[in-house]
Structure 1
């Protein structure tokens, strides 16, 4: 294994023509140069120089090394500049996975803040629901994932992951604007037992069924879709009502749909998940800081 310091010294010896001249240029003593060249020759297993009178001449091995020395040093220099940029937060890449309502709310705001202060940090965005999104971090397919858990479901999170709590997202009920319950500030789930329902993703549906069972009824689920725009359209046409996360309220697009909080309140926990070692990567840590900041502004939504 070559020592980059020895390669740099070797390159200067060849350029300067002698150990003493290289020593003056590099600020070393001549014995220090001699020791470095001996160490380099030991690592390559053959002499690199021979003396011809007062001059030094490269051996065949020395000529081969010199042909590559400049390129080696240039690559090392480029690598050092890139690493410096990453550690000083001038550059970096973070792969983030987020569930749809977070991707439409928390993520854009966090990335806008990040871009304003650190434009060279690039974030690659993926979309995915837990538990698949959690597994992507463990499998190395992304660096950070945003996921949610429901308190009553006792969901398993891979033990390799570190959870960074971000916010509690209050659940709401989407109703047609003409629905009798739409005039209230909050609605009770038990009062909606006879309604037709539109259910969402597998995890949200499991929580919905759990909460209904706790109240002693089985909901009539007429439609199931992960697409929040489809849910809104179905509600707007009076085809059913839906339990949705509060984050969705910020991008309601139908004027004929309104959202009402549940009474008593029901919430899900929104968190970021990373591998422990990723917490030491500056760009990843900065992304997490921005997610905390924007989530803090939405607590209780």
Structure 2
């Protein structure tokens, strides 16, 4: 019989890459972690980690066991959530992690709907980029996530054992002043924007690579990760920007317009959770409301132009 505490130690060793770091994270001593790992490896009957230089690497058996351990912890969290929901007579707490633009569109509408229709269901929200959000869901720091990726990308690593539900897609748009020479076009090609100044977010590798492929280097006038600040700087004339259609659906500052960027993949927004969490009443309630909100925002291309 495998010991749940030993499995927890294994998953933390896998996450941190060393016994010492795992001990710090778990609040154990390093010898205690080593002892738990020895006991687990003896119970399994084969090595689970091997030393590679100063670090550790999971064996094939170790990787398999970590995947099963993640699923086991998910079941335990689901049981805990379900019991809490039953105690609260249909209520409960759902820990939601979400990317930036969903935090100004989907999430506020979600909170408003829950307050009106299901006041017993409470939600806490953490904003995080998809990589961090995925980690929080895997480790149980969050119950449900709103994540995004590009439609031409493969399934992100680590999601194959989890439940992924597609919600909607949106486009990347060029945000500019209404007096910009390109504001009269229905769409804009990136090649038309060489030589312009840009107000951009920190995460812009895809944008920079696309500019390089077109033979120009964009002049970054400002690096800002807040949508309101981006709009204010664009309105001031500092530069143009690329912003998701979802973020712009919440608010566009006076004097600004946005035009879809041609030949750019759509961004997919999806919900991510462990399959067992989909049976927890409070999580089901939140997911149902998110589905309904996303359905109302779907296919923004059919909406009116500025």
Both proteins in one fold, TM over 0.5: yes
SS at match of 1:182: coil
Native 8 Å contact 1:232 1:252 kept in 2: no
Moved more, 205-214 or 118-127: 205-214
Determine the structure 1 residue equivalent to 2:235.
236
Q: Deviation per CA, 1:26-53, whole angstroms, max 9, x where unpaired?
A: xxxxxxxxxxxxxxxxxxxxxxxxxxxx
CA displacement at 1:128 relative to structure 2: 1.3
Q: CA RMSD in A?
A: 2.3
Native 8 Å contact 2:147 2:271 kept in 1: yes
CA displacement at 1:277 relative to structure 2: 1.4
Is the aligned partner of 1:192 residue 2:193?
Answer: yes
Native 8 Å contact 1:166 1:295 kept in 2: yes
Native 8 Å contact 1:187 1:260 kept in 2: yes
Structure 1: runs of 5 or more not aligned: 1-81
CA displacement at 1:243 relative to structure 2: 0.8
CA displacement at 1:267 relative to structure 2: 1.4
Determine the structure 2 residue equivalent to 1:251.
250
Q: Superposition pairs for residues 8-157 of structure 1, below 5 Å?
A: 83=83, 86=86, 90-152=90-152, 154=154, 156-157=156-157
Rg larger for: 1
Q: Deviation per CA, 1:93-117, whole angstroms, max 9, x where unpaired?
A: 1000111210110112123223322
Determine the structure 2 residue equivalent to 1:65.
none
Determine the structure 1 residue equivalent to 2:272.
273
CA displacement at 1:135 relative to structure 2: 0.7
Is the aligned partner of 1:179 residue 2:150?
Answer: no
State how far apart, in whole Å, the 1-side matches of 2:89 and 2:115 are.
12
Q: Deviation per CA, 1:246-266, whole angstroms, max 9, x where unpaired?
A: 012123352122211122454
Native 8 Å contact 1:186 1:262 kept in 2: yes
CA displacement at 1:196 relative to structure 2: 1.4
Native 8 Å contact 1:89 1:118 kept in 2: no
State how far apart, in whole Å, the 2-side matches of 1:147 and 1:201 are.
18
Runs of 4+ residues over 4 Å off in structure 1: 82-85, 152-155
SS at match of 1:187: coil
CA displacement at 1:143 relative to structure 2: 0.5
Go from structure 1 to structure 2 and tell me whether the alpha carbon gap of 1:281 and 1:179 turns closer, same or farther (over 3 Å shift): same
State how far apart, in whole Å, the 1-side matches of 2:87 and 2:103 are.
27
SS at match of 1:183: coil
State how far apart, in whole Å, the 1-side matches of 2:240 and 2:84 are.
53
State how far apart, in whole Å, the 1-side matches of 2:155 and 2:282 are.
29
SS at match of 1:119: coil
Structure 1 length-normalised TM: 0.66
CA displacement at 1:175 relative to structure 2: 0.3
Moved more, 250-259 or 265-274: 250-259
State how far apart, in whole Å, the 1-side matches of 2:84 and 2:144 are.
22
Structure 2 length-normalised TM: 0.65
State how far apart, in whole Å, the 1-side matches of 2:157 and 2:281 are.
25
SS at match of 2:297: coil
Native 8 Å contact 2:150 2:265 kept in 1: no
Go from structure 1 to structure 2 and tell me whether the alpha carbon gap of 1:239 and 1:155 turns closer, same or farther (over 3 Å shift): farther
